[in-house]
Amino acid sequence: MPPPTVRRATPDDAPFLAWVVLASARSHLPRGFWDLLVPEGEAERLAFAERLLLAEEPSWWHWSLFWIAEREGRPGAALSGFDPTQLAPPNASVPAAAGACGMGREQLAAAFARCAPAFACFHEPTPGAWIVESVATRPEARGAGLGAALVEHVLAEGREQGHSLAQLSLMIGNAPAQRLYERHGFAISAEKRDPGFENALGCPGIALMSRRL
């Protein structure tokens, strides 16, 4: 089987990337952060993710940060890589997208209250780190090397940008993803666990994985 094609995303990929954003946050679990933030339904969550992807001010979820792996022209997996110091922080970009989707002040406050358990396990990036984020593969495309090709590609990009450290977050208990990252030199460097996080999402917390570039 020939290797997958890896290409930079375009704005036209936003519908696929919206699925990637939701799926990556869910990891191996039934729900993730975006399910807590936007509980109305999947269509509403996808619309919210597209707002983030296509926002004028780039954030952690902007389309321009993504790489897509595909076979025969069909996207099967994607991830993003970025220097977080060059982007709008999540605490600014998420409220902006919420407002663009018509979420009022009271609705936004209630949404963030629902998400409070998740915040307890988020990791702050190490200064100077190249961040790998929003990694997901379509179920029918798994096992074909798409994820590995993307990880290799985004690590090379980080080195080209002058970074010496790469980091990513992993839901504790996602063994297949952990094995993939370990094969590419990552190791767990920190963990955050919280009972409220486990009650809300179904796993103990989030691990931070790091590797030198």
Query: pLDDT over 90 for what percent of the chain?
Result: 79
| Cα separation, 89 vs 67, whole angstroms | 20
For the ranges 7-11, 103-107, 115-119, 184-188, which has the lowest average pLDDT? 103-107
Domain ranges of the chain: 5-212
pTM, two decimal places: 0.95
Examine the pLDDT at 9 and tell me if it is beyond 80: yes
Class of the CATH-defined domain 5-212? alpha beta
Alpha helices in 28-142 (DSSP H): 33-37, 42-53, 90-100, 105-119
Q: Is 84 within 8 Å of 52 (Cβ atoms)?
A: no
Q: What is the pLDDT of residue 37?
A: 92
Closest CA to 207 of 192, 197, 187, 195: 192
SS3 170: strand
156-196 pLDDT per residue, tens:
999 999 999 999 999 999 999 999 999 999 999 999 999 99
